[in-house]
Amino acid sequence: MSYRRFLKICRKEFGLLKKDFQFKIAKPNNGGLYYEYSMLNDTTGIKVEYSLRENHVFVKICRLQMGIFPPSIGEMRADSILNCFDLVDLAVVRSQKTLPLSSIGQITNSMTLDETISNIAGLLLDVGTDVLSGDFTIFDKLELIVKERARVNALQKWGDRAHEFGWEPVKSTKSP
């Protein structure tokens, strides 16, 4: 898959964002092991990243900061301000049940990159029109979910040192 082909697919599948939500194409990025396609309007940014190594497409939805994508936060802390979320997390919250969404974006033998990106664009329109229009109310709920996952991962990774990043273990409510 060439970078040029990836861009062509993204322009086609995410073209509705230009018309319906006033998105424009941001500077594309060919990172060597990944390709990136970004779009933004006055409030919201979308990053579509195709990992050549993992053969997977990832989509982030971001609340822009002064018209630009917020910087990466690095190692997440309890007090981190989150402005970008995975489309998968948004889809899980909106579905109100646990769906097998971990495979969203995974390109398989039975699905081409074109089909995968088309499905992702459709999912974005199904679950994210409010965010695409600049209503980030759902981000509060997403932040709780993502930070809880980060807390659990930090405790597993760092153990007792996780408190250095602001993560505290859950206190047991059971009496001894």
Contact in structure between 87 and 99 (CB atoms under 8 Å): no
Each domain of the chain, given as residue ranges in start order, spans 3-165
- Listed in sequence order, the residues at least 6 apart from 90 whose beta carbon sits closer than 8 Å to its beta carbon are 61, 127, 128, 131, 138, 142
The per-residue pLDDT for range 47-91, each reduced to its tens digit, is: 999 988 888 899 999 999 999 999 988 888 889 999 999 998 999
Q: Please give the Cα distance from 62 to 108 (Å, whole number).
A: 27
For 49-82, letters b (16+ CB in 10 Å) and e give bbeeeeebbbbbbbbbeeeebeeeeeebbeebeb
pLDDT at 22: 95
The per-residue pLDDT for range 101-140, each reduced to its tens digit, is: 455 655 555 678 888 899 899 999 999 999 999 999 999 9
Contact in structure between 40 and 46 (CB atoms under 8 Å): yes
